[in-house]
Amino acid sequence: MLSPSQAGFRRLLPLLRPHLRQLIAGLACMLLYVSSFLLLLNLAGELFPSLSSRDLPKVLLLIAQGVVIFAVQKLAQFGQDSLLAGPALQVSQKLRSDVFRRLQTVELGALEKLSAGDLTYRLTEDADRVSEVLYKSIHDTVPSALQLLAVLGYMLWLDWKLTASIVLLAPLIVWLVSLFGARVMAATERSQKKVSELAGLLGEAIEGLPLVRAFAAEPWLQDRFEREIDQHRQARHRTYNLVALQHPVVGMIEVVGLFSVLALAAWRIESGDLTIAGLSSYLTGLVVLIDPIAHVTNNFNEFQQGQASLKRLRQIEREPQEAADPADAIALGNLRGDLDLQGVCFGYDPAQPVLQDLNLEVKAGQVLALVGPSGAGKSTLFSLLLRFNTAQQGRILLDGNDLSALRARDLRRQVALVPQRTTVFSGSIAEAIRFGRRASDADVMEAARLANADEFIQSLPNGYETLLEERGSNVSGGQLQRIAIARAVLGNPALLLLDEATSALDAEAEAAVQLGLKQAMSGRTVLVIAHRLATVQEADQIVVLEKGTIVDRGSHDALMQRGGRYRELCERQFIRDLQNP
């Protein structure tokens, strides 16, 4: 994988290495294609004098040769285009895959700050633009540049004095093109940023549309949208204006060049230094030059736009990464699930501790209920147990193994999360439960049975193959929760982290979910962020967390009797009795 600092196209070249053979074959076709132009120029040189001397057989022969050369040229062009497309597309696919792999390991805190719409845009549109530019560069810019050089070389050979006079104009053209190019790149970067912002807003807007409607805030949203698209239009317009200005400026220089050549040529014919045959070859050469010049200039603009996209794409790779696994990670066998937190301190910003000197012991198979007001640090504790974050002080031991000495993947096989809000990817129910892990159908069904989900899944027309729609919108909330429970217990994890849902389901659905949870929890160590009275009553320990410290701990009865913060929380309905709300 490339390092993130390598943002330029030049740095993508090593990615072409695996496709060397195809590239060489494509380049051979390209050379054939370019050299055919020289043969054609030569033919043109012979054709005009033969026409003027009315030598019909010679003319016909020259035309026949021309047809053959054209046929070979077009074949070579096909070979070049099709052979070179593959490597270009492969490189951009590899780039996209590398960036996505990197995105998957971005530190969660940093990831939360990124906009989904913006990221989507970068990985789709920006990546596509990079791919197009790569393809164009390889299959169009390179042969055009070669053609330019070959034809210029031929013209130098024909009449170097005449050609030198046009070549003198070349630095001016190059300077102008690169001047515009830099501006086009900056303007494109601005306009791509605007599109990303637009994509971000669209993401938020689509998610929040029902809310917008509920608040009758459509005019406000429309206004915001209009402002964004207006800024985008202005940014895009600036790019178009630059390109629009570039064409006539560079075109004018080309025309000046052409007329100077004609004037000089007339003078040189007059002085006898140039023949008519030479001039016809020469003028054909000039005509043949126009096309590659136009291609190289246009492609250079697109190249600059692609460079802007590539830069944006590779910025993703600069996001802070999750802590790497230790080099000598301990291999995990089957765990019992003894959890021990010793003096754990953590803050997202180390200067502002969120968890302070946390000491906790949960024996294998026990249930610990975490209660406390929102912002107390309960989810943060979960994030430490999943090693999304690492404690700044203290140790977390699982069966005596320090979490920081384990491979994150191994750890996460043993620690399963049932989040408060279930998120599923679209796909079949079986896929949702497997979630990428290798497991037999029997294991999937067993997990579903534990989660009390097997019965309802079997009763669906397609059973486990029923397709879940985006966000699981075609099953009920309670069913979705049971799928999430099955997903959590599939690998038989030793530690279950359960974030109880706060929104109440109807009594029947609630009972089904509770039964699933009860079965799933049995035989495992469970940490539950609890909101229900039933859950805390049944827990082996209750810990009350406030501002990152434990202010109370014990069993329900003991805590109620003691009359501290826990009883207050119960009385203020932080913990609800769902049967008698």
Residue among 112 and 328 whose Cβ is closer to ligand ADP: 112
Nearest residue to 159 (alpha-carbon basis) of 270, 49, 259, 269: 269
Q: What torsion, rounded to 10 degrees, do the Cα atoms 121, 124, 126, 129 define?
A: -150
Residue found under tokens 């692609």: 306
Residue among 378 and 482 whose Cβ is closer to ligand ADP: 378
> Considering the complex, what minimum distance in angstroms separates the CB of residue 405 from ligand ADP?
24
Quick one: which of 15, 283, 310, 354 contacts ligand ADP (CB under 6 A)?
354
Q: Is 18 in the site for ligand ADP (CB under 6 A)?
A: no
The contact mask relative to ligand ADP for 531-550 (x = CB under 6 A, - = no) is --------------------
> Considering the complex, what minimum distance in angstroms separates the CB of residue 16 from ligand ADP?
40
Residue among 284 and 383 whose Cβ is closer to ligand ADP: 383
> Considering the complex, what minimum distance in angstroms separates the CB of residue 529 from ligand ADP?
7
> Considering the complex, what minimum distance in angstroms separates the CB of residue 143 from ligand ADP?
51
Nearest residue to 540 (alpha-carbon basis) of 381, 341, 369, 361: 369
Residue among 22 and 356 whose Cβ is closer to ligand ADP: 356
Please work out the total of residues on this chain that contact ligand ADP, with binding judged by CB under 6 A.
12
Residue among 192 and 379 whose Cβ is closer to ligand ADP: 379
Which stretch in 222-230, 312-320, 371-379, 453-461 sits in contact with ligand ADP by CB under 6 A?
Answer: 371-379
Cβ atoms of 556 and 525 within 8 Å: the answer is no
SS (H, E, C) 5-27: CCCCHHHHHHHHHHHHHHHHHHH
The contact mask relative to ligand ADP for 374-403 (x = CB under 6 A, - = no) is xxxxxxx-----------------------
DSSP H or E stretch at residue 265: helix 218-270
Report 81-120 residues binding ligand ADP (CB under 6 A).
109, 112
> Considering the complex, what minimum distance in angstroms separates the CB of residue 485 from ligand ADP?
20
The whole-angstrom distance between residue 478's C-alpha and the CA centroid of its chain comes to 33
CB atoms within 10 A of CB 462: 10
> Considering the complex, what minimum distance in angstroms separates the CB of residue 434 from ligand ADP?
28
Nearest residue to 494 (alpha-carbon basis) of 363, 323, 316: 363
> Considering the complex, what minimum distance in angstroms separates the CB of residue 214 from ligand ADP?
26
Helix axes 160-167, 142-158, angle to 10 degrees: 140
Cβ atoms of 369 and 535 within 8 Å: the answer is yes
> Considering the complex, what minimum distance in angstroms separates the CB of residue 114 from ligand ADP?
12
Residue among 454 and 499 whose Cβ is closer to ligand ADP: 499
Residue among 83 and 355 whose Cβ is closer to ligand ADP: 355
Residue among 378 and 565 whose Cβ is closer to ligand ADP: 378
Ramachandran area for residue 523 (φ above 0: left; ψ -120 to 50: alpha; else beta): left
Which stretch in 252-260, 373-381, 413-421, 428-436 sits in contact with ligand ADP by CB under 6 A?
Answer: 373-381
| Separation between Cα atoms, residue 366 and residue 522, nearest integer Å | 9
Gyration radius (Cα) of the chain, Å: 35
β-sheet bridge partners, residue 368: 527, 541
Residue among 354 and 411 whose Cβ is closer to ligand ADP: 354
Quick one: which of 160, 215, 348, 425 contacts ligand ADP (CB under 6 A)?
348
> Considering the complex, what minimum distance in angstroms separates the CB of residue 148 from ligand ADP?
55
Residue found under tokens 């291609």: 295
| Separation between Cα atoms, residue 539 and residue 525, nearest integer Å | 11
Q: DSSP string covering 465-478, please?
A: GPEEPGGGTTS-HH
What is the contact surface with ligand ADP in residues (CB under 6 A)?
109, 112, 348, 354, 372, 374-380
